[in-house]
Structure formats: C-alpha cells, structure tokens
Structure 1
Amino acid sequence: MCDYTEVQYKCGDVRYTVRAWCVRYQETHKRCAPNVVAIEYRLDELCGEHIQ
C-alpha cells in the first residue's frame, strides 16, 4: 500500500496527497490501495486556494 496524507480544508473538501509510493507503484506505475497514515487540517485555507 502507498502511504497518503488526508488533507481537510475549511470548506469541507478532502484531498489525499502521497507521502510515499509503494514498491509496486515504483515498479509498475499502477496505483495500489491507499493507506492513510496522517490527517492534516488546513482549516485556514479555502478549497482550490493555491500558494504561488
């Protein structure tokens, strides 16, 4: 399984970002089941807001 961080935003939107790719993905580039290992709260950010 690949390790992901669940990111929760002020609007209630939830996104998942990869923390580490699993060996299977590195070898085949086929995604495996996600394994959420952390939750990050970005309650001061609106959905779709990007820092440039």
Structure 2
Amino acid sequence: MCEWTDREYYCGHHRIIAAMWCSKFIRTQLRCQPHVENREYRPHEICSDCQKGSREPVPWDHMINYPSSQQTSTTSKRRVF
C-alpha cells in the first residue's frame, strides 16, 4: 500500500501527497486508496494555488470584455425594451 502524507499549509489548504509508491503502483500505475500515515504542518509555506496570487487564464479569456477601471457607468448604459 502506498504511503500518503496530509500536508497542511499556512494558508489553511491541505494536500494529500504520496510519500512513497508501493510495488503495485510501480507495476500497474494504479494508485491505492489514500490512507494517510503522516500529517505535517508547514507554518512558513503557502500552497502553490495561493502562491500564484491570481486565477489561471482560460482559453476563452480573450473573448471576455472586462470593465476597465477608468470606465464610468454612464458610458456603458443601454436601453433595454
């Protein structure tokens, strides 16, 4: 059975990672059910999602019209009937 570790970061997020793969995984590439053997707390690290600091761009991001900070609400009003 693979050895799993529950890692908690300063930001509060948890990651369950494989500390060591078992021989079954090495042969078949099929993961065992996670059974957490160790828990560790990383008080001086934040997870990779929080390190990015912003969202991941999506493929259709170029089609979205984001409001600019200089745009006023009066210039973008439309009459809808």
Tell me the number of residue pairs that the alignment of Structure 1 and Structure 2 aligns: 49
TM-score (norm 2): 0.53
Higher relative CO (Cα under 8 Å, sequence separation at least 6) belongs to: 1
Name stretches of at least 5 consecutive residues in structure 2 with no aligned partner: 52-81
Alignment partners' CA distance in 2, 1:21 and 1:29: 10
| Percent identity of paired positions between Structure 1 and Structure 2 | 39
Name stretches of at least 5 consecutive residues in structure 1 with no aligned partner: none
Bigger helix share? 2
In the TM superposition, structure 1's runs of 4+ consecutive aligned residues that sit over 3 Å from their partners are: none
Report the RMSD for the aligned CA atoms in angstroms: 1.3
TM-score (norm 1): 0.76
Larger-Rg structure: 2
Alignment partners' CA distance in 1, 2:25 and 2:15: 20
Bigger strand share? 1
